[in-house]
Every structure is written in C-alpha cells, then in structure tokens.
Amino acid sequence: MTTRRGLATLPAVHRSYVLPLCYLLPLCLAVPGYAAGVDYDVRIDAPSAIEKLLEDNLGILRWRGNDYIDQEQLSRLYEATPAEIEKLLGPLGYFKPRIESSLQPDGKGWLARFKVEPGAEALIFDVDLQVAGAIRDEPDFRPRWAELIEVWPLPIGAPFTQSDWDSAKRRGLQALIIDRFPAAKIRESRAEIDPERPSAELSVLFDSGPRFTFGELQINGLNKYPRKLVERMVTFRPGEGYSQQKLLDFQTELQNTPYFSSVFMDMPLDPAQPADVPVRVELVEAPARKTDIGLGFDTDKGPRGSLAYRYTNLRRLGWIGSTGLDLQKEEQSFNLGVELPPDEKRYRYSSAYKVEHSDVSGLDSWTHTFGVQRTRLRGEIEVTQALQYTRETTRRMTSDGEEKNRARALIPSQSWTQRDLDNLNDPQRGTVMSWQLAGATRAALSDTDFLRAWGRIAWYHPAGERGLWLLRGEAGQVLAEDSADVPTKWLFRAGGANSVRGYKYQSLGVQDEGAVLGGRVLATASAEYQHKIVDRWRAAVFADFGGAALDWTNFKAYRGYGLGARWISPVGPFALDLARGVEARRTRIHFSLGVGF
C-alpha cells in the first residue's frame, strides 16, 4: 500500500507528453536551457536492516545535487520512488510493504519523506525438488537424493529471500556436479509468490545429465622425471566415476612436491562423450638443483647462518638428496639425507644422518643420529613412523671437575599431527594438535629401557572484529630408571620464546651444579590475546606457566607475563615480546618468527 501527499505546490505533470525518466534525463543533461536546478533533501524512515539498502539504491537520492534536476523532474523521481522501494524489498522477502510519502517545501528547496514499513516477511509454504537424468540409474541414487533433500537449506517455514533461493539452487546443482555428473544443470525452477499470505512455493527440476567416467592419463611436460613419478600420485582409476575432489587431490599432490613449478589439469566435459574421458595434465618442471643461504637472529639461539643444497633427481628416479649446515651461537648441526617419491599409498620414505653440537645452560653435547622414517599426509593429518639410532656424548663442569657421559639408544617412534586452521601462516581460527610416542630397550642396542610420551595443542579463536585468543598447552613424561642413560634430546627442558617467556632458552629443568639437565616430566601452558592496531600490526598481552623436572613431586611451575608486538609477514607472524620472569625476577626480550606451535 502506497500513500502520497503534498504534490499540489508542484507544476502539474501531463503524462501524455512525458518520456520515461531514463530517456528524459540524458536529454536534459544535453540541453543547457533545462538546467534550472532545484534543491531538495530526502528523509527515509525505515528499519535499520533495510534503510541502508534504500539509501544506496534509490534514484531520487542518486540524482540529488544535480544541477539539471528541475521541479518537474523531481516530481517524477518522487512518484517513481515507491515502486523502486517495492522492487528493492521484494528480493528480501517483503512483497507487501506499506509506504507513506510526502513532498513539501523546505526553506529554499523541497523535502521528500518516505516512511517504509516492510510488512510481514514471506515464508516458504511448499518445496518441490525433482531430478531427472542418468543419476536415477545409480545404485546409490535413493540415499544420495535423500541426503540432498535433508540438507536443502530452504525448508518449509523458513524465510524466503532471492539470494537464499539462488544460493540453494547452486548448492543443489553443485552436489550433482562434483560427483559423477559434471554436466548437470537446472532444467526448470519457479518461485511462486503470494503477496497476500505472504508465502513462496518453490520448485526445482535438476537434470543430472550423463554419468562421466575417468579415462587414460595424458601427461605433457615431463623431460627429466620418469612418468611413473606422476602415476604414483594418481587418486583415481580408469573407468571410475568422475570426482571433482579426486582431481583436486591429484593436483594438490603434484603441487606439494618439489618437482614441478606449475601443474594444470583439464578434463573435457562433453555430454555427448561422457565415458572414459581422458585427464590431461600439463606440467612445468622446477629446477632440479636448489641452493639456499640464510642469515637470521633470535633471542633463544642468537645469530644464525645456514647453507642447504637439494637435488631432486638422484639416479633419474626422482629421489631427493639434500644436505645442510646450520650454525648458531649455542647450537650447530650438519645433515645428509635421501627421500624417495611417494608410493601408491602416499607414504614418503626417507633416511638421514645428522650430527649436532649443543652448549645450552651449562650442558655441552655432541649427538650423532642415523634414522629412517615414513610419512604420510592425508588432508589435515600427518603421520610419521621412524626408527633412529642415536649416540650422544655430554660434558658438564661439576665441583669434582669435568663430568662426561655417553648414551646410546635405538628408538622407534610414532608421531601424529593435525593442523585444522583457516590459514597456516596467520591462523585466526582452529587448532593444531600433535603427539608422539617413543621408546627404547636394552635388548636392542640401547643403554637403558625408557618410554616417552609427549603432546601439544594450540587453539586459535577470534575475539570480536579485531581481537584473537591463542591458548597453548604442552605435556610430556619419560618412564625410565635413570635419566643419565636417556639421550638428552628425548628428555625435557623448558623456557624461551615458544615455551615459558621471561626465561632463557631451555633454562628450566633439573638444576645440578650450575647446569640444567633434561627432566623426565614437562608441563607448560600459555594464554595470549592479540589486538589488531593497524594494517598488519597487532599488540599482544600474554601469561605463560610451566617447567620441567625430574618427576612430578619435584615439579615447579614457573611464571612469566608481558607485552608484545606482532607483524604479519608473508612467511608468518614476526613476534617481539618483552617478558617478565616472576621467579627469575628478570625481564627478557624474545624474538620469534612463525606460528607459535
């Protein structure tokens, strides 16, 4: 219903001689004699949910302030506005709004008022979903169609809007396209609106089209690497029903290797030829040799320099050979390794030798490790089984002089990590969980029996539009008769930028005559709040707790708290923290780069 008043003071409009507004205005703009100009203002009284929509889209507001709008043109804009309002509200589900309008002199100009009551929102009265095509011959048709109906987002009784209606149809069509029927289409769709009720009756007829199947693999761009390298990563078999997800998984597998700099995949979808459709893979090989040189600094380990070399085609089989040297103030290491391409079950097998030197918190150690492992990444979860042989020599100064200790162990281990994050470089929501179980026995090249369990979790959650919570926890325990025969790497120490801030790197453990030895138990926790300041910069406040000890009866939780700044770089957050160690009674600066896990 539309009510208008206040038009008597404007010149009369002779409709029989008037062109539509879309023709009239450009003519007026082209003829200077019509540029009389009239000053007017517009007031809209409507619920906040629709007020901005009207302000952004009404013609009478778009033309306000134009020098070529005279009184007659203003009158036409005013008269056309209620119909515009009805047209704008219809897609939102309001088909019978009440509109009161007036146009009155206001000082030297005019004031147009529009009071809008959208009325009752249209509700969905009936839904009729149908499908035709080859999908009806599929063995899983009934459960698949029942699932689509069950998750249909516009049930009876739900509010109707045009955007929701369009989205629901796209969602239903997409459910057919991604699995066996990529040529599916909407044959018919109707939304019958009854403004009096108000209600909407919806009907859709989907046409699945023919069933598509995968054909042969056509690979272009292979020069250095064998074809088998690519075939091992294929996620489907010839004759198998088309699956969009399997194509994406195949492409992701190829992109995540160091062999290719570009991967493009294509599958012609001709409804006339749906059987055994070839899958074309266009590859651009990456350079086989890569050298990396790095310089850096962090407050835990001081200045850092690194040199790494990788060759990705040993024996022309796609084996990856790598070697690296890492030099830091308190820790140095050299490694040499070989990694095989993934097999048919997506396992990556590798072997490596590593020598490490560490001089941290009064404990000097040399460690030689040779190991083999296999790793498989499926979606968000990475699983690793490893077998490592470690020989370690440690030295420390005691009141009786230098004390030397040797330890050896053959250690099988199982690791599991899940990264459920919205963004790996700058997470705003999600969790990262990891655990490891390892052990050794005297019966197999080890100096002692021990069992080690460790786990860690980090939780990210937004706090309003500009805030972020980060909660982190870690715990571990080693079961052993004597820690002296357990290699230091498999014991626990805490403290530092990614542990308990306010304390020196690995300074929390078993205190023994000026040295910090590894403990058999570990527990740490952290709570941090970040707030966006400007662009990529955030401020942070945090509190950390925890430590490591010989056993739980001797465990002490050290406390640290402080303030920090975060800069979100392309490779992850750069963190600068000023932390106060409560028990240490000392303030420290911490630098770190990357996601805090």
Question: Which tokens belong to 32?
Answer: 């200077």
The pTM assigned to this predicted structure is: 0.73
Mean pLDDT score of the chain, rounded to an integer? 90
DSSP letter string, 326-381: EEESSEEEEEEEEEPPP-TT--EEEEEEEEEEEEETTEEEEEEEEEEEEEEEETTE
Shared domain for 223 and 150, answered yes or no, is: no
Non-local CB neighbours of 234 within 8 Å, separated by 6+ positions: 217, 250
Shared domain for 63 and 191, answered yes or no, is: no
CATH number, domain at 280? 3.10.20.310
Distance CA 232, CA 110 (A): 76
Shared domain for 135 and 263, answered yes or no, is: no
- The HSE-up count of residue 295 (CA atoms within 13 Å, CB side) is 0
Residue 321 located in a structural domain: no
Digit-by-digit pLDDT tens for the chain (597 residues) are 444 444 333 333 332 323 344 434 443 443 444 445 789 999 999 998 899 999 999 999 999 888 888 888 999 999 999 999 999 999 999 999 999 999 999 888 899 999 999 999 999 999 999 999 999 999 999 999 999 898 899 999 999 999 999 999 999 999 999 999 999 999 999 999 999 889 999 999 999 999 999 999 999 999 999 999 999 999 999 999 999 999 999 999 999 899 999 999 999 999 999 999 999 999 999 999 999 998 888 788 778 899 999 999 999 999 999 999 999 988 999 999 999 999 888 899 999 999 999 999 899 999 999 999 999 988 899 999 999 999 999 999 887 788 899 999 999 999 999 999 999 888 999 999 999 999 999 999 999 999 999 999 999 999 999 999 999 999 999 999 888 999 999 999 999 999 999 999 999 999 988 899 999 999 999 999 999 999 899 999 999 999 999 999 999 999 999 999 999 988 778 899 999 999 999 999 998 876 554
Residue 298 located in a structural domain: no
Shared domain for 87 and 223, answered yes or no, is: no
Shared domain for 511 and 372, answered yes or no, is: yes
The pLDDT assigned to 4 comes to 45
Residue 309 located in a structural domain: no
Range of 226's domain? 214-285
Distance CA 36, CA 260 (A): 67
Shared domain for 513 and 535, answered yes or no, is: yes
Shared domain for 25 and 128, answered yes or no, is: no
Beta bridge partners of 522: 476, 548
At 410 the three-state DSSP class reads strand
Shared domain for 382 and 488, answered yes or no, is: yes
Report pLDDT digits (tens) over 253-299: 999 899 999 999 999 999 999 999 999 999 999 999 999 998 888 78
Report pLDDT digits (tens) over 475-489: 999 999 888 999 999
Non-local CB neighbours of 565 within 8 Å, separated by 6+ positions: 537, 538, 539, 540, 575, 576
Shared domain for 6 and 135, answered yes or no, is: no
Last residue of a domain, one of 285, 320, 345: 285
Burial 469-478 (b: 16+ CB within 10 A, else e): ebebbbbbbb
Residue 334 located in a structural domain: no
Last residue of a domain, one of 207, 224, 259: 207
Question: Which tokens belong to 570?
Answer: 């392309």
Residue type, 274: P
Shared domain for 367 and 498, answered yes or no, is: yes
Last residue of a domain, one of 257, 285, 313: 285
Residue 108 located in a structural domain: yes
The pLDDT assigned to 297 comes to 80
Beta bridge partners of 2: 99
Do β-strands 123-132 and 199-207 pair in parallel, antiparallel, or remain unpaired? parallel
Question: Which tokens belong to 105?
Answer: 């002199």
Residue 294 located in a structural domain: no
Shared domain for 219 and 191, answered yes or no, is: no
Report pLDDT digits (tens) over 227-255: 999 999 999 999 999 999 999 999 999 99
Beta bridge partners of 368: 355, 391
Residue 295 located in a structural domain: no
Shared domain for 577 and 541, answered yes or no, is: yes
* Residue 139 region by backbone torsions, left for phi larger than 0, else alpha for psi between -120 and 50, else beta: alpha
The pLDDT assigned to 30 comes to 39
Q: How many domains are contained in the chain?
A: 4
- How many degrees, rounded to 5, is the angle at CA 563 between CA 558 and CA 564? 115
Residue 342 located in a structural domain: no
